[in-house]
């Protein structure tokens, strides 16, 4: 155990990271705001369909992170004194004192040019928790116009004055999606009608970050999202707020679940939490429709949820009381002598001056600033993450008399607890993956790429994954990591190298079977010959660049199955062989399970464990509804299978619709093929224009979203050449493109 002196040294080191990170993040927000503002639209000129696409590829950040930084930067342009206090500090009692990011974000919601100095002076003697109460009072009294008003009430930063929002709970009411157990609504769907704006084949949902989502509406959404995030931190730690839902199923049900997730992705429902909620809503709707009235005890389900809510509210009250008691012991550290002195570096000085110094820069120059600042911030976060992990192992926040880790993160470091936990988790994984850490520190890969790689890499495969991450856009890297994780789950292998092109094409057969509707059409016996799904891979033979694995003979899932399993590609061979058998039989809309042709390879012949991270509310709902429905299920049918089949019964009529160029949409998975775009409002594009003699042959066709097709390609911002199976993409001005991707490989950025 570390001595208290060592813990205090770590605490001082952690606190010293705060001002530098605040300056870097604010400056990056300023550059992004100027580049992506509604008037300039620089991300469009660089060939990106949305701010979300630009943020992910050029900043290695989520759109939520970028919107938060832009929102605060935009607001601070009207508050020069607060901007200076956050970056360079202010004199207080003969010492320099700085405003942390969490405090600055809070003050920016209510401060006006005429009273910002009063708010800064008030913050010098109060903790963030205490200031939350003052801000809430000001917003309720109408002293500030920056509050976000919903139905006549103000949504504050939360966690103040005992008001706790958690898992969608506001003022003691449960909001799960937009409803409660027994009447679950998600966006535009109710029980039995869950998906949001479900688009038919050929016209699936556009990305939420579409063109035009800039300005005040993004500012409002960013404030709301930050409020919810801070509320969740106040209510409980992420690791405590989420539960691991474990299901042990056979191979048939595991592939059914993978196919169901692919269907939900097509219908716009992303992430384990939202997908589990959709499954439960459909399953509950089916049970209510098919079983006699009053068979399900809905009051009991509501009671379980009410009891859980009351317990969490009681925990929140205890936590708030503990934090108030501890503040007297930590006040000097967070407000007085323990406060770090800001380092007045070039970035901090530039951030203090605001956006005026950037006005004369063009889109390419601003993009270069974004890239440089992102690399600096990534190196900064790497060192910070390592210190956070060391401090956590020393049980530092407890030994320094903080009431919770959330309080330490908020008051001492100026960040949310979820951000602290994410960095600690990254540092923990990087300890066993030194080459990934080295690549992150050197700027070879970014934070998002590193976060993806650590999910799947092992010590024996990390070099291959780092090399792969450096040659992929974030969109394509996510696809390959997701496929590799599926291979690990379905094969039982602990290690999985990056896929070769033929393996990715074979894996996409699952998505193609789902969107075409073939997955729910049982196939007749064909003496072991595998029907090829749309977009067959018979001609997909290729050799991985720079690798020793010859996949020229791996021309189909059946061929991959025929090859004897061997290291190091055993995980891919076993998984694709299992996928081939499942596609042969199709989705079985009955209780029948298992395969009539079991394999002795790997764990695909046994049971498969699925682990999903979901909220406590959905965990309770799952277990409670399962307990009541179990005796009504057909013999041999698992609960997971029932939920998946309920969803397929409700939504399979949307699949395989006969629309123009439908075969192209199915082949491309109803996704924009531009390697940085995730939108799904696809239209057909001729690689060789019809005006130049291009045909309607499949090899000359590619799916593109409405913006990338019309504004990007035909607007001269994107260039696509080659054949459909290997398109060369150039994004940005033709004279100096900012990104070049050849097939799946990024060759210039």
Are residues 598 and 483 part of one domain?
yes
Measured CA to CA in angstroms, residue 722 lies from 144, 505, 513, 556, 699 at distances of 56, 18, 26, 23, 9
- 447: tokens are 């934070």
Question: What is the token pair recorded at 19?
Answer: 């001002």
What CA–CA distance (Å, rounded) separates 449 from 470? 8
Residue 600 CB neighbours (<10 A): 6
Point out the domain boundary residue: 602, 619, 645: 602
| pLDDT tens by residue, 125-151 | 889 999 998 888 888 876 444 443 333
pLDDT for 82 equals 94
Is 238 within a domain? no
Residues 481 and 582 in one domain: yes
Is 394 within 8 Å of 7 (Cβ atoms)? yes
pLDDT 10s digits, 649-685: 899 888 877 788 888 999 999 999 999 999 999 999 9
**CA–CA separation, 42 vs 728, rounded Å?**
22
Same domain? For 477 and 593 the reply is yes
Residue 515's pLDDT is 87
For 97, the 3-state DSSP assignment is: strand
User: How much is the pLDDT for 721?
Assistant: 94
Q: In which residue are the tokens 């060192």 written?
A: 383
Domain boundary among 544, 569, 602: 602
Rounded to an integer, what distance in angstroms lies between the CA atom of residue 90 and that of residue 109? 20
The alpha-helical segments, DSSP class H, found in 442-548 are 447-456, 462-470, 474-491, 501-516
d(CA 418, CA 425): 10
Region 399-422 average pLDDT = 92
Burial (Cβ within 10 Å: 0-12, 13-18, ≥19) of residue 344: middle
Q: How far apart are CA 248 and CA 713, in angstroms?
A: 47
Confidence band of 447 (pLDDT split at 50, 70, 90): very high
Q: Mean pLDDT in the chain? A: 78
Tokens coding 124: 């010098």
Distance of alpha carbon 425 from its chain centroid, rounded? 16
Structure-token match 């082949």, residue found: 667
C-alpha atoms less than 13 angstroms from C-alpha of 639 in its C-beta half-sphere = 18
Distance CA 427, CA 381 (A): 10
**Cα distance between residue 617 and residue 194, in whole Å:** 17
Residue 506 pLDDT: 92
Q: With pLDDT > 90 as the criterion, what percentage of the chain qualifies?
A: 45
Region 322-335 average pLDDT: 85
Please give the tally of structural domains in the chain: 2
Mean pLDDT is lowest, of 278-287, 297-306, 404-413, for 297-306
| Single pTM value for the model | 0.79
The pLDDT confidence band at residue 165, using thresholds 50, 70 and 90, is very low
pLDDT at residue 217 above 90? no
293 CB neighbour count, 10 Å cutoff: 6
State the pLDDT at residue 179. Answer: 33
Q: Are residues 479 and 576 in the same domain?
A: yes
pLDDT value at residue 192: 34
DSSP reduced 3-state for 373? helix
Can you tell me which residue has the tokens 């160029």? 661
Confidence band (pLDDT; 50, 70, 90) for 316? Answer: confident
**Position with higher pLDDT, 275 vs 343:** 275
State the pairing for strand pair 90-92/95-97.
antiparallel
* CB within 8 Å of 290: residues ≥ 6 apart: none
Let me know whether 598 and 701 are in one domain.
no
Ranking 103-117, 356-370, 375-389, 507-521 by mean pLDDT, the lowest is 507-521
Lowest mean pLDDT among 208-212, 392-396, 457-461: 208-212
Q: Are 64 and 99 in contact (CB under 8 A)?
A: no
pLDDT of the residue at 225: 43
Q: Determine how many CB atoms are found less than 10 A away from the CB of residue 233.
A: 28
Between 584 and 185, the higher pLDDT residue: 584
Q: Is residue 671 part of a domain?
A: no
Partners of residue 169 on adjacent β-strands: 166
How does residue 635 score in pLDDT terms, banded at 50, 70 and 90? confident
- CB-hemisphere CA count at 13 Å for 570? 13
Supply φ then ψ for residue 744, to 5 degrees.
-105, -5
Question: Which one of 602, 632, 663 terminates a domain?
Answer: 602
Q: Is residue 591 domain-shared with residue 689, that is, in the same domain? A: no
At 465-501, the pLDDT tens digits run 999 999 999 999 999 999 999 999 888 888 899 999 9
Same domain for 598 and 685? no
Examine residue 177 and say whether the peptide bond preceding it is cis (omega within 30 degrees of 0): no
Segment among 191-195, 353-357, 386-390, 617-621 with least mean pLDDT: 191-195
Are residues 231 and 156 in contact, defined by beta-carbon separation less than 8 angstroms? Answer: no
Q: Is the pLDDT of residue 392 over 80?
A: yes
Confidence of residue 218 (pLDDT cuts 50, 70, 90): very low
Has residue 517 been placed in a domain? yes
pLDDT of residue 556: 43
Rg (CA), the chain: 27
Q: Are 537 and 506 in contact (CB under 8 A)?
A: yes
In a domain, 542, yes or no: yes
Of 135-139, 327-331, 380-384, give the range with the top mean pLDDT: 380-384
Same structural domain, 581 and 476: yes
Residue 131 Cα to chain centre, angstroms: 30
Q: Which residues contact 378 (CB under 8 A, 6 or more apart)?
A: 60, 440, 441, 443, 446, 447
Residue 261 lies in a domain: no
**What letter would DSSP give residue 199?**
P
Tell me the C-alpha distance between 201 and 198, whole Å: 9
Q: Does 366 reside within a domain? A: no
Tell me whether residue 474 is in a domain: yes
For the chain, the residue count is 749
CA–CA dist 53, 167 (Å, integer) = 27
Cα–Cα distance, 412 to 19 (Å, whole number): 11
Which residue range(s) make up the domain with 564? 468-491+493-602
Looking at the domain assignment, is residue 702 inside a domain?
A: yes
Amino acid 13: pLDDT: 92
């Amino acid at each position: 155990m570390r001595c208290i002196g060592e813990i205090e040294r770590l605490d001082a080191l952690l606190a010293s990271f705060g001002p530098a990170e605040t300056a870097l993040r604010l400056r990056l927000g300023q550059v992004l705001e100027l580049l992506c503002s509604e008037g300039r639209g620089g991300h469009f000129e660089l060939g990106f369909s949305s701010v979300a696409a630009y943020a992910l590829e050029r900043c290695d950040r989520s759109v939520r992170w970028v919107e938060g930084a832009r929102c605060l930067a935009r607001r601070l342009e009207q508050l020069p004194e607060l901007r200076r206090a956050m970056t360079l500090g202010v004199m207080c009692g003969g010492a320099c004192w700085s405003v942390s990011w969490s405090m600055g974000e809070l003050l920016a919601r209510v401060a006006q040019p005429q009273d910002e100095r009063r708010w800064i002076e008030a913050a010098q003697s109060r903790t963030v928790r205490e200031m939350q109460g003052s801000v809430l009072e000001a917003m309720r009294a109408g002293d500030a116009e920056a509050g976000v008003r919903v139905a006549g009430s103000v949504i504050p930063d939360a966690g103040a004055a005992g008001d706790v929002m958690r898992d969608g709970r506001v003022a003691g009411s449960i909001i799960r999606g937009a409803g409660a157990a027994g009447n679950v609504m998600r966006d535009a769907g109710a029980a039995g009608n869950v998906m949001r704006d479900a688009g038919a084949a050929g016209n699936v949902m556009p990305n939420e970050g579409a063109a035009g989502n800039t300005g005040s509406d993004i500012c409002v959404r960013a404030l709301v999202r930050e409020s919810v995030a801070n509320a969740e931190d106040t209510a409980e730690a992420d690791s405590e707020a989420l539960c691991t839902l474990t299901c042990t199923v056979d191979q048939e049900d595991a592939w059914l679940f993978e196919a169901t997730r692919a269907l939900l992705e097509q219908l716009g429902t992303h992430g384990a939490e939202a997908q589990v909620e959709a499954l439960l809503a459909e399953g509950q709707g089916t049970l209510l429709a098919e079983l006699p009235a009053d068979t399900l005890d809905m009051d009991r389900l509501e009671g379980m949820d009410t009891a859980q809510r009351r317990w969490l509210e009681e925990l929140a009250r205890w936590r708030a009381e503990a934090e108030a008691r501890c503040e007297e012991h930590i006040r000097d550290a967070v407000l007085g002598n323990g406060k770090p002195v800001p380092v007045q570096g070039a970035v901090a000085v530039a951030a203090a001056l605001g956006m005026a110094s950037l006005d004369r820069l063009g889109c390419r120059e601003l993009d270069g600033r974004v890239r440089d600042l992102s690399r600096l911030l990534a190196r900064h976060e790497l060192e910070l993450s390592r210190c956070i992990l060391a401090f956590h192992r020393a049980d530092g926040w407890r030994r320094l008399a903080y009431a919770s880790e959330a309080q330490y993160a908020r008051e001492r470091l100026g960040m949310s607890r979820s951000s602290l936990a994410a960095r600690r988790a990254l540092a923990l994984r990087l300890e066993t993956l030194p080459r990934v850490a080295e690549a992150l520190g050197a700027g070879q890969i970014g934070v998002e790429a590193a976060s993806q790689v650590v999910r799947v890499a092992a010590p024996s495969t990390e070099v291959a994954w780092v090399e792969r991450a450096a040659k992929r856009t974030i969109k394509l890297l996510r696809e390959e990591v997701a496929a590799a994780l599926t291979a690990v789950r379905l094969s039982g292998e602990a290690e999985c190298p990056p896929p070769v092109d033929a393996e990715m094409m074979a894996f996409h057969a699952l998505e193609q079977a789902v969107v075409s509707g073939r997955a729910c059409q049982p196939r007749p016996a064909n003496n072991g010959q595998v029907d090829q799904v749309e977009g067959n891979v018979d001609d997909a033979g290729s050799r991985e660049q720079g690798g020793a694995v010859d996949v020229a003979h791996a021309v189909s899932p059946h061929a991959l199955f025929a090859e004897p399993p061997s290291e190091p590609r055993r995980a891919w061979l076993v998984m694709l062989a299992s996928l081939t058998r499942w596609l042969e039989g199709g989705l079985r809309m009955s209780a029948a399970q298992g395969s009539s042709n079991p394999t002795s390879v790997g764990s695909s012949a046994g049971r498969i464990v699925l682990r999903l991270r979901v909220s406590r509310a959905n965990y309770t709902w799952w277990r409670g509804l399962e307990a009541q429905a179990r005796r009504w299920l057909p013999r041999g049918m698992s609960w997971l299978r029932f939920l998946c089949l309920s969803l397929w019964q409700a939504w399979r009529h949307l699949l395989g619709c006969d629309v123009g160029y439908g075969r192209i949409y199915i082949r491309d998975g109803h996704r924009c093929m531009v390697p940085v775009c995730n939108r799904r409002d696809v239209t057909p594009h001729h690689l060789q224009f019809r005006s130049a003699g291009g045909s309607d042959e499949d090899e000359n066709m590619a799916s593109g979203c409405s913006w990338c097709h019309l504004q990007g390609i035909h607007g001269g911002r994107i260039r696509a050449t080659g054949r459909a199976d290997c398109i060369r993409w150039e994004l940005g001005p033709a004279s100096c493109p900012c990104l070049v991707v050849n097939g799946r490989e990024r060759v210039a950025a």
